Each structure stands twice: as C-alpha cells, then as structure tokens.
Structure 1
C-alpha cells in the first residue's frame, strides 16, 4: 500500500502542472516530409514569439533547426495556412523553399547561406500568399498554390496554381510568376504530377461549399511549357467531398471520397477498402495528407472511427496491417521515402511525436519531437471514451477526464466540478491525446469532458451533417447532454458545471450560456458571437459562406441569424464569463467581443475581457497562454468556491 492520500477540496489540489508548463507544451509537430534520407518537420516555439521552426533529424540522429529565429515557417493561405515548405537533397546541401509568416513571401535557402526571396511583396489587400510548394528542378521552378488579393476587401481574392522561378527573378516582378491553371474555381489545392510527368491532378471547390461539403477532382494534361491544359472533372461534385488526391506509382489515380458516407479510398473510381471508417478528413489546410503511396504499390493510410491510426493497406487485397506501437492517434500529415513512412503520432500518455515506420520490418520508432514527461505521469488524466444518448436517441461521442492526483483526493460526499470543452471548427474533432492544458485542470481536481458533438468529423458524413442548419442547436444540446449525464450519474457536481471553447467552440460556449441553464460559468475565446455581422466582407474568404450550411442561406432565414446569436440573446445571460481575444484576429474580429460586451453592459453579470496584442486566431505565445490559463482557473475558483494558491486573482466586473 502507498502513503495515505491527503484530502483537499476539488479544484484546490497542488499541482506541478502550472500554466507555464502547459504553455510550453502547447502545439505539436506538423508538415512532416523526407529530404533525401532525413525526416524534416515544423514544430511550435511558444517561447520564441510563437514561431514555427523547421527542424531536421540528421543522419547522426540529432535534431536541429534548419533556420534560426526569427524565421517563421508558416503561411496565411485561407488564413489557417497550408503546407509551408519543401526541399530537395543536393550534392552538398539541400535546397529549401519555404514561406515566411511575417511577409508571406516564398524564400529559397541553402544551409550556410541566407534565405533569398523568390516572390514579391504586394501592397494590395492581403497581398500574395503561397502554399504547398513543390520543386520542379528540371524547369528551375517551384509549383504552388497562389492566393492573390485583388483589392482591399477580404473577398477580393483569386486562387490559381502557379510556378515561381528559383532564380529569384520574380522577387520584384509579379509578371515573372507563371500561372499554370485557369481561374475556374474559387479554391484549389496543390497539384500532384503523375509519375510520367504528363498529367496533373488537384482539388477545387466554390462558394458556398466548404471542402467537406463537395469538391471536384480535376485532371489536366501538362503542356511542353509546363502549363495545365484541358482540365476536366473526373470525380466529386456538390455532394461528394474528396479530401485528397495522389498518383499511384503505376499512374493510376488515388483519392479519398465520402461518396459512400465515409471517406474511403478509391483507385480510378474503384473502392480499395470499403469500410465504415474514415480514411480522410476535413480539408482545413491545403496539403493535409491521410494517405501516401509507397514505391511498391502499397499505401500508408490513416484510418478509423474517431481516432485515426496508421496502417499499411494492400490495395489488391484490401487488407490493412496497423503499425505496432503505443500511438493511438495520428495527425493528418504523412510522407514516404522508399519503404519508410514518416508520420506524427500521439496517445493519451504522450504528446505528438514524429514517427518513422519501416514497412519492410514493420518496426516503428520515434525519430523527432520525442515526448519527455515534464512531471510524474501519475499527474496525467486517464481518459474514458464515452458515448452518451442525446435528444431523439442520437449518439454523442465524448472523452471524459476525471480528476486525478497521486497524493490527493476529494472529500467524501463532495463531487468535483467539471468543465465541458467544446472544440473549434465546428467541422473538426478533439483527438484523444495527452494535453497538458487538460492535465493542468484534472491534476487540480477539476474534471474535463471533451465533446465531439454532432457535426464533428471521424464518424461519417451523416454524423457530420447533423449540424447542417443546426449550428447553435445540436452542438449546444450535445454538450448539455454530456454535462447533465455526468451530473446525473454522480460523476460531476450539478451546481459546478462550466463550458469553454475557442473560435467555433467559443460560439458554442456563448450559445450555451445564453440558451441553457446548465452551466455556472464559461470561458469564451476568440469567438463568433453575432451571425448577422460575420460573413462575406466581415471575415476571411475561406469561411465567408460557411454559415449557409451551418445556419442556412441568410436571405431565406434572416431571423435565424438573429435568434441564435448570443449578442442578441444577452438578456438571457446570467452566468459569469471570461472573454479572451487576440487583437490581430482577422477570422473572428475583436468587434464580435466588443458588441457582445455592449449588449451585456449594465446587466450585473460578472465578467472579464482580456485582449492580447500580436495574437491572431488562436494563441501561440507562451506569455499569452499563461495569462489566459491563469484567468480561466481563477474564474472557476471564484465561481465554484475553492482556493487556488499561486494563481493571480481575475478581477470580475459587471
């Protein structure tokens, strides 16, 4: 038997996982790729102003940054960004092409030298932006997606496939950029060139669709000048979402389509492994990859219901051999080189790591961003994968994280407070991975429940489309279902339930506080709060027509836009709340928060509003994340009635 447990009120337990430690572990590796035999990726640097560093694993097994600060390998295509780098091995050193966040230009870099700009600055609107760079060394170019603003408005934008000369001749001359595709569609992904170099394939879609509603798969012939000619649609449409396209080594077309209700893989239109599982996901960023062809004809795939795991698919038999190892969740980033596959995996006990799988031996190992426990894992939560029953008997998926501490327990007869976490998107989901932000709550005696409400991905198109025209209804109901079920079964204290979320999760939080009496308080981060002032011209182009599927066409249901908006329901708000906002946010502008606060003013509702200069949509800087977490914990301490030593008190006004 171990030492006797100490008894302390829930919420007041001492924890080594403070807001600074949680901030230091925020974010994870992205955009993995091979450069020769080396594995490269980007990873966050919260302590370096939130930049994304490009990192390589050398042949000697060392991890080292490719570029020093302040180089920030990230772009703003669609505002969320797309794949920001590519590289090719050289005789002496690799040739790297990347986008730098500060000016959005493409740069060429060879280690030992300085980055050299390849594209010009633009003074028009949001300027020139580039994503999914792909080297064409034969022509001395880099192919990519070009997002070009033609005016000052957020909707004054065009997107085409383009080629940028590697010699720097376009650095001051926009006309030196060659456009490879016609301007037929509002949105395009990067092109994939067939093994014989004669054809290109890419995805495209138009307003008002989002890429998970319907996309078209285009194939074009590549002319002698490298331009894409006679593009034709070979799959997809208004009600079929193709998430990714690639070429098999034998020149056949591979793609992930949800035509059967789940994102499954197809080769020249024939399903390879029909299952009620997802082999793709929502295309929030151009360049995401859920599968990659291998030289021997096999496919590395991410697949599953809810969580996605890494496997090797034999397209001839439809059989999948999953990679052995502790990783139970993989990010939508894959790369292959010979018989090697690079991926980004995690588990409830580890954060995301860069994984390499040798398909010849079946052996997988961590090669980068190694997880190292900053504290005793006994402080980590042990999540429970739960399915609850919502209105009408519908399933509601959630991850429940009860309070956990190796030396402290709550008083007999006391139930812990719980915070419902509503994810963003809303067409997204929460992965089942170790999250130090959650551990900072559970190790203090505060339970957490992440809800993959109707509209979330990972459970098929029907589940995803539950939110169609029902945003602010189904998401609110499903979160309430989980919260009340936890209280009814004796897991959570009914009087100490809270809800929190950012972006679309901020909307769900605010809609829950103004539409239900379930929660005692809430934390609303960079939210949408008024549907009537969020749309074309009021937010970025990518999501500017998103509300037509989430709420309905405004011309047909104008009253719905008003009735569901928290700003217009402020008279129903009585629960204390915390509002967090980045001042550089162009997706959910600060005006959303300001108008909401005006509608709340004078109503006697305790609240606080914290803004952060230099932060956009989602927080990236360590000091911001520390302040935000401290404020959130203080809100719960004050509302739920427990002491929180070492956390500055948040001043709540009315």
Structure 2
C-alpha cells in the first residue's frame, strides 16, 4: 500500500478547481407548476450569469428537463434589487405560455415556447431604463396577471412607489401605460398578492419604513370591486412587533398565514367575516421552530394549502424539513427523504394538485428540484443540474453542527467543515488554517448543503466554519434581535468567539485564522479586521464599510432605513454610526486583505469599497472590481477569479504553495 503523502495544509492536491466551481455555480430555484408541467429557474454562469427557465413533465419521467427560455433572455427581477419570483406559467390562448420579467429592461413579457416570434412585451417601456419593475406574478382575473410593480419616480434611490397591479395578457399595455390597473397600494412595501378562489377578495402583505419585513408587517384583505380594484381594506393580522411573511387562501373565507406573534414564525388559520374583518388567528403548529423566514426576496412559500385540506410546510431551526400538516389536528408528518434543507418555494403540481414541488439539498446532495407525492410520500428528483460541479464523495466536507459560547455565555450557532482529502495528510504537529465565513443579511442564515466553494477549500486543507451569529434567522425572534443596535459588535464578537474556540480546542491554528464575507458579511469581515487582532487576513466582498454614507443615500430604498434598527435612530445616533464604521478605522487595519466588488452594485456601491481603500495604511491588500457584476457574483469568469484570488491570499499569508495565479498585493 502506498503511504499517503504528508503535505502542508492548503497545498493538498484537489480535483475541484475554480473553473469547474464557477461553471456550475448556483442552484435551481423558483419552481412553478401548470398541471403536470413543472418549471424552475436555472442560473447560467457561462452565459454572463443570465437566468433561464427549464421545465419537465411529471407524466414523462424519462424525458428529463428541457430549457425553455432561449438566450439571451434573462428571467430576473430587480424589485428591491434582490428580486424574487420572476415568472408565472399559464394557459394563454389555449396554449402553454409564461409571463416573465426580463432583466435587461425589467418589463414583463409573454412567451409561448416553440413559437418563432419569441417573447412579446406586456408592459410599457419606461422613460428611464428599468424604472418600472415587476415581481411575484400570480393568477389574477381572467385575461390578467397580477404582480408587484415598483416604479422609480426620480433620481434618488428612495424616489419609489409600489403597487399591486393587474397587467392584461393581450399586450395592450405595452403601448398604453393606462391599461395597467392599480389594484392596491398604500404602504411603501408590498408582497404576497393573492386573489381568493371566488375572485371576490384580495390579500397582500405590507410594511413601512423604518421597519423591515422581519420586524413588523400587516396582512391586509380587501373586497375586489367590479372594476377590479381593492375596496374597503382591513388589516387582519400583523402589526407592530409582529412579522407576517406569507398568507394563502384555503377557501373564500379562510386564510392560512405565517406569523411570528409567538416569537417563532408559525402557521395560523384565520377566518374572515362577511364584512372583511377577521376572527383571532388560530395557531396550527405552535412550536419553537421556524415555518417562515426573512423576505429578502418576494415570492417564497413556506406553507402550501393542498386540495385535500392538508398543508405542506417547510419547518425547522438549524436545518429544515418538509412536512405535511393536518390543520384540524395539528399533526405534523415529516417526509422521509435524504434532504436536510428545503427551500421555502413550495408549489402544487399534477392534475389533482397533490404533488408538492420544492428545491431541496443536503450536505451530500446539491440543490435539486424535488417532486413529492402527498399520497404515499414517494419522491424523485426532476433536475440534476447546476447545484455545483461533481464533488467526488471522498472530498465532500462533512458538516458538524456546533453551539459555541459567546460573550456573557450566549449561544452562537455554527457549522464546522474540517479539511478532507483522501489523497493527502498533514504532519501531526501542524494544525490547519481556518476561514470563518460570515453570511450576508445580516438577517439571514448559513445552511448546511453541498457547496462546491466550501469543498474547494476543505479539499486543499483549509477548514471552513460558517457562523450563524446573533441576528441570524432560524432560531426565533429573540436570537435575531440580538443585533438590534449592536451591528458591528455582536456579529464581530460571535465570529471572534468561534474562531478562538476552534483554536483553543486544537481544531485550528491560532496564527492562521481568516475571515470572509460578502455584503453584510463583508461589513462584519471589515469590522473584525478593524476592531480585533484575531484574524491573520480577510476577504471582503461587496461590503458596507461607511454607515453614514449608507444611511444618507448610498444604497437602495429597501434597506435605506435598515440601520435604524441595526445601529440606532438617525441622526441622533450619528456618533455611533461613525464609531462603528470600519472606514474610520481603516488606517488601523494590520492584517492583509482582499477586497472584491461589482461595478454595477446598487446595494453596496463601489464608492464604499473605494472609500475604504483611500484610507488604508501600509497593510498589504488587493482590490478587484468586476465589470458587469451587481450584488453578488454571477459570471463564471468572476467567480473563478474571486476563488483563485482568495486562495492566493491564503497561500501568501499562511505559507503554502497554492498552484493558482498570485494576486498582487499593495503596497
């Protein structure tokens, strides 16, 4: 037997290269159904990051998935800049069609697959490019699709109006803006428009600044007048300190909703009176688990009422499961599959509507579109596509769910991925370098699924730990509200606590700890480098670094007042904004870092990153600004360059040969 070679951590040979990771980066998403047809979105990193539409048939299992939307069409919405569900398959003129938002101009288009004419516009071209944006299309009255419209009315990011609108499918609104009818409006932010089964009522969710949708929202119900507009609206659930994130009609008098009134997002049943008012919501599964999450994108479905009267539901804490809920008894029956993470994007398919479609994954399985039979709980995968490159089983990192102790004894949830490679080992005296990964949001969650980016590093001998710091979702309202007024403190302390704990127990080398994050994770990374001395280097991606600038016009409308809860009231708390900002401590950063940014980012614009660079001292650093990228990297060439640059930084700081192009550090 050949002895396994002893090689330094970081220098282990790996079959997982950056090119293959980048080529297949992303996951299928936003499933929809039309009878036995199942649709979903798929990213195409090799095609400039466009998003296409695919479909498969439940009654043709041997046919496999087919791409529906040809290049260069790109089904992606920019509402809130984070978008949401961008399309709706439907019957139009006796044939299958799809309505979708085209990324390049944000107009709605109607497309009949197979027709030579290609997609045709349904909404008008605005005077300013992309000033009219659409998301979360749903079935409306006959001959219409209803959706959320975001209208940019002026030059400032906050010059925005939103409404639930009805768009005719005959194309008349493409030339006549007046043909788009406003169904409902009133609050600054709107989500989840739903028409009742009898067409007589409409429901939606709304909220106003400075609240975010995980803080306080209102569920509103209104009658639908003869002209197709909402009349006599009533707020029937939600309110200050309560977050309702979804509502679905069971019948014309019943709504099933997801609210965190108990401190956890749980499902409720709400009965409406003839006058539009409502009885008190009844909890269906009052558990210390989450059946909901943050509305970063519009269109998720954690619960799905079925024709049988049962409800499909995604629930859990550190991981999620798919279950079938009986609303009468409260019985919750988990579906037995190998998947440990279910996306909250449930839809019903099949002629009887008793097949649940979802996107699911596990630490061994990449995200895939799954069809689950409610009758016998059998399941099958409809897509084996773009969840990542083929990671050989022996190189798949194994997640270890851990709870660490933070300051004051508080719990900090994290997932540890140790280095894993069957073809190499390190010397007994050497401990591995580790990278602390900080998720974005900050109101978000890191999930334990097969991630080729993690495997890219662990297969080379670099450990990864994902930290669900205080403020993360999945652990109840109290856990996510630890960050109120404490952003830049609690998140940094928790990341530092996890890093130190791994070093103290001998899992990680205390002298070779890195931190890495994007967006809000980029903020925490920059803050950790500026305010602590634990990390030997950092990778900062499309970050927030200047709170004053971000609060006074350097971001989009959706998050323009997010800092009111994360930091404090503006301008009364201005001193806190300035004290917390890494840009004001840039000269004190002593650990080498890599800063990466998209030049079209409207959420964390390049001006923030460039301002940090202007103030750094003599610390070695590199700045990569990628053309054509927005918030997050979608193009294969960008993803590859970013991964190789990150590995190059670690190689230089931690002292190993990476075998990738060296990123030039200045000064």
What TM-score results when the alignment is normalised by the length of structure 2? 0.95
Would you say the 8 A contact 2:648–2:658 is kept in 1? yes
Would you say the 8 A contact 1:527–1:593 is kept in 2? yes
2:394 matches 1:391: no
Q: What is the aligned counterpart of 2:169 among 166, 170, 173?
A: 166
Whole-Å Cα distance in 2 between the matches of residues 137 and 340 of structure 1? 25
Q: What is the aligned counterpart of 1:135 among 112, 136, 139?
A: 139
Q: Which residue of 1 aligns with 2:663?
A: 650
Would you say the 8 A contact 1:390–1:396 is kept in 2? yes
1:60 CA drift (Å): 2.6
Whole-Å Cα distance in 2 between the matches of residues 35 and 251 of structure 1? 25
Per-residue CA distance 1:341-387 (angstroms, 9 max, x = gap): 00000000111010011000111211123568724210111110000
1:3 CA drift (Å): 4.8
| Counterpart mapping for 1:387-466 below 5 A | 387-466=403-482
2:366 matches 1:366: no
Q: What is the aligned counterpart of 2:367 among 352, 362, 371?
A: 352
Q: Which residue of 1 aligns with 2:48?
A: 49
Q: Which residue of 1 aligns with 2:493?
A: 477
Unaligned runs of 5+ in 2: 271-280
2:152 matches 1:149: yes
Whole-Å Cα distance in 1 between the matches of residues 38 and 575 of structure 2? 53
1:134 to 1:461, Cα distance in 2 relative to 1, 3 A: same
Q: What is the aligned counterpart of 1:510 among 526, 530, 542?
A: 526
Q: Which residue of 1 aligns with 2:294?
A: 282
1:251 CA drift (Å): 3.3
Whole-Å Cα distance in 2 between the matches of residues 155 and 171 of structure 1? 26
1:90 CA drift (Å): 5.8
Q: Which residue of 2 aligns with 1:207?
A: 209
Q: Which residue of 2 aligns with 1:188?
A: 190
Whole-Å Cα distance in 2 between the matches of residues 343 and 54 of structure 1? 15
Per-residue CA distance 1:539-570 (angstroms, 9 max, x = gap): 10000000001101122211000000000011
Judge which range, 446-455 or 54-63, deviates more: 54-63
Would you say the 8 A contact 1:581–1:590 is kept in 2? yes
Whole-Å Cα distance in 1 between the matches of residues 384 and 123 of structure 2? 31
Q: The residue matched to 2:155 in structure 1 has which SS?
A: coil
Would you say the 8 A contact 2:198–2:252 is kept in 1? no
1:125 CA drift (Å): 7.2
Would you say the 8 A contact 1:249–1:297 is kept in 2? no
1:243 CA drift (Å): 0.9
2:326 matches 1:314: yes
Q: The residue matched to 2:642 in structure 1 has which SS?
A: helix
2:598 matches 1:594: no
Whole-Å Cα distance in 2 between the matches of residues 537 and 498 of structure 1? 32
Q: What is the aligned counterpart of 2:283 among 255, 271, 280?
A: 271
| Counterpart mapping for 1:298-337 below 5 A | 298-337=310-349
1:477 CA drift (Å): 0.3
Whole-Å Cα distance in 1 between the matches of residues 383 and 220 of structure 2? 36
Whole-Å Cα distance in 1 between the matches of residues 627 and 389 of structure 2? 32
Q: The residue matched to 2:610 in structure 1 has which SS?
A: helix
Whole-Å Cα distance in 1 between the matches of residues 324 and 110 of structure 2? 34
Q: Which residue of 2 aligns with 1:105?
A: 107
Whole-Å Cα distance in 2 between the matches of residues 300 and 420 of structure 1? 35
Would you say the 8 A contact 1:75–1:100 is kept in 2? yes
Unaligned runs of 5+ in 1: none
1:123 CA drift (Å): 2.3
Q: Which residue of 2 aligns with 1:530?
A: 546
| Counterpart mapping for 1:594-633 below 5 A | 594-600=610-616, 603-633=617-647
1:339 to 1:288, Cα distance in 2 relative to 1, 3 A: same
Q: The residue matched to 1:259 in structure 2 has which SS?
A: coil
1:537 CA drift (Å): 2.4
Kindly report structure 1 stretches of 4+ aligned residues shifted beyond 6 Å: none
1:311 to 1:395, Cα distance in 2 relative to 1, 3 A: same
1:221 to 1:595, Cα distance in 2 relative to 1, 3 A: same
1:18 to 1:575, Cα distance in 2 relative to 1, 3 A: same
Whole-Å Cα distance in 2 between the matches of residues 36 and 349 of structure 1? 31
Q: The residue matched to 2:522 in structure 1 has which SS?
A: helix
Q: Which residue of 2 aligns with 1:343?
A: 358
What TM-score results when the alignment is normalised by the length of structure 1? 0.97
1:25 to 1:112, Cα distance in 2 relative to 1, 3 A: closer
Q: Which residue of 2 aligns with 1:66?
A: 68
1:445 CA drift (Å): 0.2
Q: Which residue of 2 aligns with 1:262?
A: 264
Judge which range, 121-130 or 375-384, deviates more: 121-130
Per-residue CA distance 1:421-480 (angstroms, 9 max, x = gap): 000000000111010000000000000000000000000000000000100000000000
Would you say the 8 A contact 1:124–1:150 is kept in 2? no
Per-residue CA distance 1:62-87 (angstroms, 9 max, x = gap): 21111111111111000000210001
Cα RMSD for the two superposed structures: 1.3
Would you say the 8 A contact 1:249–1:295 is kept in 2? no
